[in-house]
Amino acid sequence: EAGVTQFPSHSVIEKGQTVTLRCDPISGHDNLYWYRRVMGKEIKFLLHFVKESKQDESGMPNNRFLAERTGGTYSTLKVQPAELEDSGVYFCASSQGTRSSYEQYFGPGTRLTVT
């Protein structure tokens, strides 16, 4: 069974540009999460989808970030326009079912560098 995949693995963009990150969860996992780790800090929660609905987006830093999960399958996280402080590693995770006790499986991450 394929794990959580993310694309691209690395993206370098200039300040002011737009970047779209993609996450494909494990097939059948209703829950999808986005996390971010900026340099020197701990990983922080961004948002949580249940199927195509945003269950919790309390961690989204500002309105330059837009997450979607059309059809309840893969998800995209768009940053527009990107700022220097957006640099970091963006992780996606998924878990099955609706019980919060289910284990989260993480993707390899996308390293975003904004110059």
Partner 1 sequence: KNEVEQSPQNLTAQEGEFITINCSYSVGISALHWLQQHPGGGIVSLFMLSSGKKKHGRLIATINIQEKHSSLHITASHPRDSAVYICAVRSGAGSYQLTFGKGTKLSVIP
| CA-closest candidate to residue 98, choices 34, 54, 47, 51 | 51
Whether the bond into 81 is cis, omega within 30 of 0: yes
Contact positions toward partner 1, by CB under 8 A?
A: 31, 33, 35, 41-45, 48, 55-56, 58-59, 91, 93, 95, 100-101, 103-109
The long-range contacts involving 40-48, CB below 8 angstroms and separated by at least 24 positions, are 43/91, 46/77, 46/90
Shortest spacing between CB 109 and partner 1, in angstroms = 6
Shortest spacing between CB 2 and partner 1, in angstroms = 13
Is 17 or 113 the residue whose CB approaches partner 1 more closely?
113
Is 58 or 70 the residue whose CB approaches partner 1 more closely?
58
Is 79 or 93 the residue whose CB approaches partner 1 more closely?
93
CA distance 103 to 40: 26
